[in-house]
Every structure is written in structure tokens, then in C-alpha cells.
Structure 1
Amino acid sequence: MNVAVLAESELGSEAQRERRKRILDATMAIASKGGYEAVQMRAVADRADVAVGTLYRYFPSKVHLLVSALGREFGRIDAKTDRSAMTGGTPFHRLNFMVQKLNRAMQRNPLLTEAMTRAYVFADASAASEVDQVEKLIDSMFARAMADGEPTEDQYHIARVISDVWLSNLLAWLTRRASATDVSKRLDLAVRLLIGDQDSK
């Protein structure tokens, strides 16, 4: 379907932003019940009460839908994080707090997480903007946790590695190749090996 797609930055009116929110809410509700395969464009349009053509103007595919939903979910987790809980301590403790918080949040609804993660992993170049937004957000969450302030370039590099390790372990959990306990231990080890557990901040 060849239509002009509206970027998020182009949503100038409140009605457009509300429509986008309804679409993402519908996507997440459907994915929560049936996983990746259940997310069909017509089903999303019906639940969001928009025309299919309108849906395609906002999101050209289910991959775009689900990756955008993942980005919004990370944004919500970040916004709800109690920064005072990460004040002080070592970079290890602060980063580990953030990693485990994200881990628990994503493990609450396996079907939704499977759908969003599957879309993220298999997204092609057409969804590069959405994927980039997700990567920058998770890297920022981890880097800011480490820094307890403004992150350095090295901390952003470490955050990118941790993000990759976190994603691979999330996939292992989703495919039942690792338990939640296994994932927690692996991530703890990865963080410890990368930044140590020094007493200094």
C-alpha cells in the first residue's frame, strides 16, 4: 500500500496524537492476548476505531506498530522509574537496579513482550527510525543509571553492550531456553564484568 506515512514529529494536532495513542493501545491489547500473530492491521484498526487506510498513514506495517509500541513502553518505564532509588551507590548497583527493573517489566506479559521483541529483532531498513528510537532510549536509560548524572561517551558505549546482552537474554527467556533466574544471573554477571562492583561512585 503506497501511502504517505505520518512521522510522530508530524502529528501536530491533539486529535492526531490521540489517534496514534489509540492505535498503539489497540496494538498492545491485541498482542497481550494473542502475541505477534494476532496483531493484524484490520484488527488493530477495528479496535482503535480508525479506517485501515488511516492506520497505514500512521504505521505502514505491524512491525512499525510493534516497534513503536516497544519504544513507548520503554518510555513509560523510564518515566516511572524512581530516580531517588538509584541515588548514591556504585555504578554497578545503579545499573543493575535499572537492568533488573526493565527485566521484570518485560517479563510481566510474555505474549506482549514476544510480539514487540520479535518485531524489533526482525525489523528491516524501513523501520530504521523506530528501531533507532528504541535503541537510543534503552541506551540512555542504562547510561544515565551508571552515571548518576550526565553520562560519558564510554558509559554510552557500555550501555550499548549491556543493551545487546539484555536483548539476547530476553529472547532466551521468551523461547524458554533460560529461566527468569538464569537471565537475572547472566545480566548481573555481564554488568559486573563490564564495570565491576567498586565501592567508589
Structure 2
Amino acid sequence: MTTPVRSPAAPRPRGAGRRRLAAADLGAEPAPLVAGLAASQVRRMRRIVDAAVRLAEQGGFDGVRLRDVAEASDVALGTLYKYFRSKEDILLFALAEEMERLEATVVARPIRGQTRLDRVVAFFARATTGLTRRPQFARAVLRSISAGDSDMAVKVAGFMLRMTRLIVAAQRGEVPNLAAPVDAPVGTQREQQIAFVLTHFWFSSLSGWAGGLHSARTVADQLRMAAALLLEEE
């Protein structure tokens, strides 16, 4: 059964049902950025997301203030709230887009390696490089993930499912099936457990990086160590 994931509320034309913003639904599959919105609404929402990302790149999480986002995107604050509930909501939408880009690269350029360990390490190296290439934005996203809001927690859970699918595929040396439902069973129970442990370890290491404890290179080194402990004995 698919876990329901709430998407940011979008404007509802008279007589129409509530629209969904596909990329913000972290449990959904890669899809066009917005489903069912008018072109003007898509452009407006795009400006909001882009403005928030720019502010995050400049000032991190604290630099993203909704009034500033509204001003930078040339929309009224009330209009912004029709699309997103909070700055965490916007940043997780941007994270969903990052996730879609990662999925696309894994399909276009499959993870290579002679062993499961090599492939898993290569996957996390690619994921880490992709996320940390914009350090302030990445730190803002990591703050959003740990916000503790129940709506955000459901979206993060969907993100974890998508990571599991990619890591299991890397273990198997396969291209992930992005057409399948995100909660469809993948791999063996053991492969899923390895993916679960490594994903949580990755976020823990990224949190250390975000706090200035170590470099992004150290994140990759720590992932190699953790993956070796899980995989080398098999």
C-alpha cells in the first residue's frame, strides 16, 4: 500500500480539484515539475523555488525568509503560501528535484564497479558530490530534513524509499526501475537492510560535514568504511 504523501497546496481554479505539485511529493516517481497547473502558475512556482534556492546558496537555512522569497520571486506573501506551507516545504521541494537529477544520472550513466562494495561506494560518491556542490544550499536542505514537522517527516520517508531503490540497484549492478511504484519491493531483505543502514549513516556523516566537523571527502571515506563493514564479509 502506497504511503500517502501530501504535496504543497496549489491554487485551485473554480470547479477543479486540488492540484498536486509532483516533485514535492517525495514519494512519487520522477515526473514533470508540476501536474495540472496553468502555465502562469508553473512559472510563478518556479520563481518561488528558484528564489529560495538562491537565498539558501547565499545564506543557508537562516537566509531563507519567506518574505524575502516572495519579494525575490515577485509574488505576494499570501500567494506564496498557496503553494508552500513553509521554507522547509520549499527546500524539500528543491531536494526532490535534486533526487530526480540523481535518479536520471544513475539511469543515463549506470553505476559501475567490479564488486558490490565498489558500486555502492561509487553511488554514494556521486550522491555526495551532487548534494555538496552547493554547500550552503545543502546545509539548508539538511536542516529542513531534521525540522521535525510531521508533513516533512512523511516526505523525508519517501525520499528514503527512493534512496533504497537506488542503493539496492547499485548492489545488484542493475539500472533502477524508476517506472515502478516507489514503495514496490526491491531486492532481498538483506539488500534493503544494507541500504537502510547506509542511508542513515550517510545523513549522519553529512550532518557532521554541515556542522564543519569534516570535509565532503571525509563523508565519502566514512561511507566506504561503513559499506566495507557491511559488504566485505559476504
Q: TM-score, normalised by structure 1?
A: 0.85
Aligned pair in 2 of structure 1 residues 29, 167: CA closer, same or farther (>3 Å)?
same
Q: Is the 8 A contact 2:131 2:138 kept in 1?
A: yes
Residue of structure 1 equivalent to 2:224:
188
The answer to whether residue 36 in structure 2 is matched with residue 12 in structure 1 is yes
Residue of structure 2 equivalent to 1:165:
201
Deviation at 1:177, TM superposition (A): 1.4
Deviation at 1:85, TM superposition (A): 4.7
Deviation at 1:89, TM superposition (A): 2.2
Q: Over the residues paired in the alignment, what is the CA RMSD in angstroms? A: 2.3
Identity in percent: 29
User: Matches of 2:146 and 2:226 in 1, distance apart?
Assistant: 21
The answer to whether residue 169 in structure 2 is matched with residue 156 in structure 1 is no
The answer to whether residue 98 in structure 2 is matched with residue 64 in structure 1 is no
User: Matches of 1:80 and 1:197 in 2, distance apart?
Assistant: 30
User: Matches of 1:58 and 1:159 in 2, distance apart?
Assistant: 33
Residue of structure 1 equivalent to 2:119:
94
Residue of structure 2 equivalent to 1:108:
133
What residue identity is the alignment partner of 1:77?
L
Deviation at 1:170, TM superposition (A): 0.5
Deviation at 1:138, TM superposition (A): 2.1
Q: Structure 1: give runs of 5+ residues left out of the alignment.
A: none
Deviation at 1:84, TM superposition (A): 4.4
Deviation digits for residues 77-106 of structure 1, max 9, x if unmatched? 221236545246222111111101111222
Q: Is the 8 A contact 2:202 2:223 kept in 1?
A: yes
Which of 53, 70, 80 is the matching residue for 1:45? 70
What residue identity is the alignment partner of 2:205?
N
Pairs aligned (count): 195
User: Matches of 2:68 and 2:219 in 1, distance apart?
Assistant: 34
Deviation digits for residues 19-54 of structure 1, max 9, x if unmatched? 333322211111001111110112112222222122
Displaced runs of 4 or more, over 4 A:
82-85
What residue identity is the alignment partner of 1:174?
A
Which of 138, 157, 163 is the matching residue for 2:163? 138
User: Matches of 1:53 and 1:153 in 2, distance apart?
Assistant: 47
Q: Is the 8 A contact 2:98 2:131 kept in 1?
A: no
Where is the helix percentage greater, Structure 1 or Structure 2?
1
Deviation digits for residues 116-136 of structure 1, max 9, x if unmatched? 111111231032342233222
Q: TM-score, normalised by structure 2?
A: 0.74
User: Matches of 1:166 and 1:88 in 2, distance apart?
Assistant: 20
Deviation at 1:196, TM superposition (A): 2.1
Aligned pair in 2 of structure 1 residues 191, 122: CA closer, same or farther (>3 Å)?
same
- Secondary structure of the structure 1 residue equivalent to 2:146: helix
User: Matches of 1:89 and 1:21 in 2, distance apart?
Assistant: 41
User: Matches of 1:125 and 1:140 in 2, distance apart?
Assistant: 23
Q: Is the 8 A contact 1:86 1:145 kept in 2?
A: yes
Which of 121, 143, 164 is the matching residue for 1:118? 143
Q: Is the 8 A contact 1:66 1:115 kept in 2?
A: yes
What residue identity is the alignment partner of 1:125?
S
Q: Structure 2: give runs of 5+ residues left out of the alignment.
A: 1-7, 11-19, 23-33, 177-185
User: Matches of 2:173 and 2:72 in 1, distance apart?
Assistant: 41
